[in-house]
A and B are shown apart, each in its own frame.
Chain A
Amino acid sequence: MIRLEKRKEPSKFWRIANPFLAVALTMFAGGVMFAMLGKDPIVAIRLIFFDPIFSETFASYSRPQLLIKSAPLILIAVGLAIGFKANVWNIGAEGQYIIGALFGAGVALAFFPAPGWYVFPLMVLAGALGGFLWAMIPAILKTRFNTNEILVSLLLVYVAERILAAMALGLMRNPDQPGFPGSRDLRRYEAAHNAELIANTGMHWGVVAAIIAVIFAYVMMTRHMLGFHVQLAGQAPRAARFGGVAPARLVVVCLGIAGALAGLAGMFEVSGPGGQVRIEFASGYGFTAIIVAFLGRLNPLGIVLAGFLLGLTYIGGELGQMMLQLPGAAIQVFQGMLLFFLLALDFQTNYRIRLTQGMRA
């Protein structure tokens, strides 16, 4: 007989080992999937995970892309992870990302074409503010009316997507090219351009922000009282209440931080790699960041690794589309599988498998 026995303490070994195991299993299952699609699995897996960095033909293009794709994922996931730890489920980061981008772009377009050093810093503030405000909707509804933050934050993604479309077609449309949807290209407006800081590295201000956010989150979670409250509320909500943690304040703080960071990510994207407010601007970073947060074990340093890995799959997915005519959605399946395997493997973090003799069950 096989029996599950709950561990007294979650296993430290499996906590660290499982993400790696999950990646290996996903590669294997992904290989099977590619084989079923009629592609050579070895070639496909290599193209997705190794070629973006090591291949001589692609690396010059894709190495800088690694930072460009990973930075928003890390920035968003760091914020989400704080909330997940406290059992505050913000799954609408995609919406906060969009609104942050719109706020940032709005400031830039309002100042256009004025030069001035102050434009970009104002955009940064606006981006963070936009994401923060959008996240405050579920936060306030949760604390004031006890409305489920999961549903509200997610439903607001669809609202944000429609606001984005309305902006791209209406208010923010480029007046010089009224025939085309989409705003002015911010990369051509020097004061607002989030340019590469070091040429051909992909290093832009968003990467800097991600690094700062990781350090900030790490210090907060390990050294600051707030981090302790977050962990306490997540693991022992009753004890937290007796210990003087105000649940309402925690909800606001968690959603606020996550929203502001997601908004920043959106703002850095629209003023740099994305370039303009377009209908197709949102590319699912807000959802992928959920996987990044879990894969990184809700730990800021783990999230950096996980962010690079999932950033890699984005680039690898693009290469796969170009070289092997892999469908773009294959990467989404890949990311979904990764989360499945991780969750499934985690049972051995919390439970021990015991093989028992005889019929005693």
Chain B
Amino acid sequence: MILGSINPAVLLAALMVAATPILLAAIGELVVEKAGVLNLGVEGMMIMGACVGFIVAVNTGSPIIGFFGAALGGVALSLLFALLTQALMTNQVASGLALTLFGLGLTALLGQRYVGITPPRTPKLDLGPLSDIPFLGRALFTHDIVVYLTIALVGAVWWFLKYSRAGMILRAVGENHDAAHALGYHVKRVRVLAIMFGGACAGLGGAYLSLIRVPQWTEGMTVGAGWIALALVVFASWRPWRAMAGAYLFGGVVVLQLNLQAAGVRIPVEYLSMSPYLITILVLVIISSGKGRSLNAPGSLNKPFHASS
């Protein structure tokens, strides 16, 4: 059978790689939304990271510096969003859309001369004997460092939100900004910091696409990954570990569909490649229908805050 030619260990390994960029973007957006801000510009910040990270990596010859550049690129765009929504009190949905449209255009312009170049290779992390374990070694321990750092980041965000004082303030701001303000917390400052964190994460996720997963720069190369990350946050009901589960599930669909393409299944490529989007929609439907109103969304999500005094 065709499916027999797919090696499960390789599949699992590829799944982790496919999931990482979306997971990075999603975990960033999760923090942003926990602070009560809906930033629909994830796609724009991601493509910005993909482009800036690529340019920096090619010019410095170092993917590590490239990733830093990508994070900065994401932060730069997110600051624009912060300026609009926090200082100028604009509509968050419209501002997020503007960010995405602007990011897609700007990167097409910036990256024009970088199409078709191969970026410097990111080395795999050498985990010594671990990667020699049969099956698991091949599946889990043959990755680059970003994959592991991303998992660590998920853990860190989970701990931060659940146990740290700063995390509780952030959640308070997201649940009820008027109460948080009355308690003397700086609602806007917390939100701006959260937005910047989201920008950095989305930028890193984009750079993972252009520097490791693809690895190349092409115009509009994120093809909706940012929107899928947004869907993932809803799917995860704003819980970090669930976001990771969702990202890996999604990565599995992507990889399986690519493998089916390669194995020459008699379904046109176009139909197979729409499956990640359809599955995302399906999952969204299941999640939003299941529990009625108890979706766990932060109480002040997408509501503007203006201190009246």
Interface residues of B in 219-248 (CB under 8 A from A): 219, 223-224, 227-228, 230-231, 234
Q: Which residues of A contact B166 (CB under 8 A)?
A: none
> Of all chain A residues, which has the CB nearest B224?
A158
Residues A290 and B97 in contact, CB atoms below 8 Å apart = yes
Q: Which residues 66-106 in B have Cβ within 8 Å of A in the complex? A: 80, 83-84, 88-91, 93-95, 97-98, 101-106
B101 and A339 within 8 A (CB)? yes
User: What CA separation (Å) do A13 and B268 show in the bound complex?
Assistant: 55
Type the 1/0 row for A260-290, where 1 means its CB is closer than 8 Å to any CB of B: 0000000000000000000000000001001
Q: How far is the CA of A151 from the CA of B84 in the complex (A)?
A: 22
Q: Is A144 an interface residue (CB 8 A)?
A: yes
Q: Which B residues lie within 8 Å of A89 (CB)?
A: 93
Task: Classify chain B: how many residues form its interface, as a range.
Answer: 35 or more
A222 at the interface (CB under 8 A from B): no
Question: Which residue of the partner chain A has the closest CB to B272?
Answer: A162
Q: For A331, what are the chain B residues with a Cβ–Cβ distance below 8 Å?
A: 105
With a cutoff of 8 Å between Cβ atoms, the chain B residues found around residue A159 in the complex are: 274, 277-278
> Quick check: B93 and A150 within 8 Å, CB to CB?
yes
The answer on a CB contact under 8 Å between B112 and A344 is no
How many residues of chain A have a CB within 8 Å of chain B?
Answer: 49
Please state if B80 and A151 are interface contacts (CB–CB under 8 Å): no
Q: Kindly specify which of B5-13, B54-62, B157-165, B281-289 makes contact with the partner chain.
A: B281-289
CA of A297 to CA of B273, assembled, Å: 37
A residues near B288, Cβ cutoff 8 Å: 145-148
Tell me whether B102 and A6 are in contact (CB under 8 A).
Answer: no
Query: Which A residues are CB-close (under 8 A) to B107?
Result: 329
- Given known pairs A162-B274, A344-B84, the reply for A339 and B289 (CB within 8 Å) is no
Query: Taking the complex as formed, is A141 at the interface, i.e. its CB lies under 8 A from any CB of chain B?
Result: yes
Task: Report A-chain residues with C-beta under 8 Å of the C-beta of B277.
Answer: 155-156, 158-159
Indicate if the CB atoms of A4 and B306 lie closer than 8 Å.
yes
A146–B98 CB distance below 8 A: no
**Do B268 and A343 touch (CB < 8 A)?**
no
B294 to chain A, nearest CB (A): 12
- A351 on interface, CB distance cutoff 8 Å: yes
Residue from A144, A290, A334, A336 with most neighbouring chain B CB atoms (10 Å): A336
Given contacts A159-B277, A290-B97, A343-B88, contact A327 B227 (CB under 8 A): no
Identify which of residues 242-288 in chain B touch chain A, using a CB-to-CB cut-off of 8 Å: 268, 270-271, 273-274, 277-278, 280-281, 284-285, 288
Residues of A within 8 A of B101 (CB): 287, 290-291, 332, 335-336, 339
Query: Is residue A346 contacting chain B, with contact meaning CB distance below 8 A?
Result: yes
Contact with B along A309-337 (1 / 0, CB 8 A): 00000000000000000011111111111
Interface status of B27 (Cβ within 8 A of chain A): no
How many whole Å from B30's CB to the nearest CB in chain A? 15
Chain A's closest residue to B227 (CB) is A154
The answer to whether B88 and A91 have CB atoms under 8 Å apart is: no
Q: How far is the CA of A91 from the CA of B43 in the complex (A)?
A: 14
Contact residues in A for B273 (Cβ distance below 8 Å):
162
Summarize A's interface: helix, strand, loop or mixed.
helix
User: How many residue pairs at the A-B interface have CB separations less than 8 Å?
Assistant: 136
Q: Judge whether B90 and A144 touch: CB under 8 Å.
A: no
Nearest A residue to B109 via CB reads A329
- Contact status of A335 and B105, CB under 8 A, knowing A145-B288, A156-B277, A340-B98: yes
Chain A CB within 8 A of B108 CB: yes
Say if the beta carbon of A112 comes within 8 Å of chain B: no
B236 → chain A closest CB, angstroms? 14
The interface residues of chain B lying within 8 Å CB-to-CB of A169 are 268, 270
Which of A151, A166, A170 is B284 in contact with, Cβ under 8 Å?
A151
Q: Contact check, A327 vs B94: say whether CB atoms are below 8 A apart.
A: no
Beta-carbon contact of B285 and A333 below 8 Å: no
Decide: A329 near B112, CB < 8 A? Known: A151-B284, A340-B80.
Answer: yes
Q: Are the CB atoms of B274 and A163 closer together than 8 Å?
A: yes
Write out the residue numbers on chain A whose beta carbons fall within 8 Å of the beta carbon of B88: 343-344, 346-347
Question: Are A350 and B89 touching (Cβ within 8 A)?
Answer: yes
B40 adjacent to A150 (CB under 8 Å): yes
Query: With A148-B284, A336-B101 in contact, is A343–B91 under 8 Å at CB?
Result: yes
A333 and B84 in contact, given A158-B223, A162-B270 (Cβ under 8 angstroms): no
CA distance A328 to B234 in the complex (A): 35
Q: Are A6 and B93 in contact (CB under 8 A)?
A: no
Q: Is the CB of A147 within 8 A of B108?
A: no
**Smallest beta-carbon distance A116→chain B, Å:** 32
A132 at the interface (CB under 8 A from B): no
Query: With the chains together, A147 CA to B80 CA distance in Å?
Result: 29
- The reply to whether A332 and B104 form a contact with Cβ atoms under 8 Å apart is yes
Distance in Å: Cβ of A320 to nearest Cβ of chain B: 12
- Cα separation A339 to B6 with both chains bound (whole Å): 47
CB of A133 closer than 8 Å to a CB of B: no
Whole-angstrom CA separation of A332 from B101 in the bound complex: 7
Chain B residues with CB below 8 A from A59, complex form: none
Given contacts A145-B285, A162-B271, contact A347 B102 (CB under 8 A): no
13 extra interface residue pairs, beta carbon distance < 8 Å, beyond A165-B270, A170-B268, A347-B88: A145-B285, A151-B280, A154-B224, A157-B224, A162-B274, A332-B106, A333-B106, A333-B109, A339-B101, A339-B102, A340-B102, A344-B90, A346-B90
List, sorted by A's number, 26 A–B pairs whose CB atoms are closer than 8 Å. Answer: A91-B97, A145-B288, A147-B285, A147-B288, A147-B289, A148-B231, A154-B224, A155-B228, A155-B281, A162-B273, A166-B270, A327-B108, A327-B109, A328-B108, A329-B105, A330-B105, A332-B104, A332-B108, A336-B101, A336-B102, A336-B105, A339-B94, A339-B102, A344-B83, A344-B90, A346-B90
